[in-house]
Amino acid sequence: MPTPSEIYVYDGADAVAEALASRLTAVLADVQARGGTPQVCLTGGRIATKAYERLAADGPGDVDWTHVDLWWGDERFVPAGDGDRNADATLDTLRAPLRLDEAHVHVMAPSDAGMDLDAAAAAYADELGDTIFDVCLLGVGPDGHVASLFPGHPSLETPGSAIAVRNSPKPPPDRISLTLPVIDRSRQVWFVVSGSDKADAVLQGVLGTGPDPVPAALASGVDATVWLVDRDAAAQLPDDVARMEL
């Protein structure tokens, strides 16, 4: 049974990014205080990038980032160093300021790593195993896609935990993506969204409107499902949807 969505609305993209960074830091510190090693699934996108820059600027703080496992929800299957890769730019931002331990950094293979797309997806599935994320971050596309799971695309029905995605409707066409069952076993799923171009996707994701729910409407956390959005992205939500204005 999906958990009810908690919706937090902020003045703009910068405020969403700040909230994301501070919330994530608090959760990771709490997991470590209880003796755990946090498992975090990262996403790309403009909000996440701003949040990672904030984390880097703040430094480790109360979190021992050498004992945080970082995963990715999807990746573009392009060569290492390509600007389309999610992980590379994120690690460039976080690695030194947070003193990351490479043993706890789990990236999806680039296209020049000596594996084809299927083998790269299978390798990530093996590495992931039965990992349960404490927090899974998800951006949302204007079409309601999350990770590299697009509406009406065969990837939505592909079994497995990490899968090859071909002919993505958004370039580049070849990608690796986690599947909904992996996302949905996360303790918390956080959607991070900004901009008026995402307003319809937020509406569909929160309310599950339409005959075929978009992927964003199918993703939820076991303990919490949280939407961190700006006012533009929340513009189409009806007044009777419970939310907090911050």
Residue 240 is predicted with a pLDDT of 78
Is a pLDDT exceeding 80 seen at residue 243? no
pTM to 2 decimal places: 0.96
The percentage of residues in the chain with a pLDDT greater than 90, rounded to a whole number, is 91
User: For 208-232, what is the mean pLDDT?
Assistant: 93
The pLDDT-based confidence of 244 (bands split at 50, 70, 90) is: confident
Please check whether residue 133 is in contact with residue 41, taking contact to mean a CB–CB distance below 8 angstroms. Answer: yes
Structure confidence at residue 212 as a pLDDT band (50, 70, 90): confident
What is the torsion angle, in degrees rounded to the nearest 10, for the CA atoms of residue 220, residue 224, residue 228 and residue 233?
Answer: 40
Q: What local confidence, expressed as pLDDT, does residue 170 receive?
A: 93
Quick check: 216 pLDDT over 80? yes
Over the chain, what is the mean pLDDT?
Answer: 95
Confidence of residue 1 (pLDDT cuts 50, 70, 90): low
Burial of 97 per CB tally in 10 Å (0-12, 13-18, 19+): middle
Share of the chain above pLDDT 70, in %: 97
pLDDT at residue 208 in the model? 87
119-171 per-position pLDDT tens digit:
999 999 999 999 999 999 999 999 999 999 999 999 998 999 999 999 999 99
Confidence of residue 241 (pLDDT cuts 50, 70, 90): confident
Alpha helices in the chain, H assignment, sequence order = 13-33, 46-58, 86-98, 117-128, 180-184, 199-207, 215-218
Domain that holds residue 52: 5-245
- What tens digit of pLDDT does each residue of 57-91 get? 999 999 999 999 999 999 999 999 999 999 999 99
What pLDDT score does 246 carry? 66
Q: Per the structure, how many domains does the chain have?
A: 1
CA distance 80 to 89: 11
Tokens representing 168 are 């993505």
Contact 233, 202 (CB under 8 A): yes
- CATH code for the domain in which residue 144 is found: 3.40.50.1360
Query: Measured between alpha carbons, how far is 225 from 30 in angstroms, rounded to an integer?
Result: 18
Query: Taking residues 224-237, what's their average pLDDT?
Result: 96
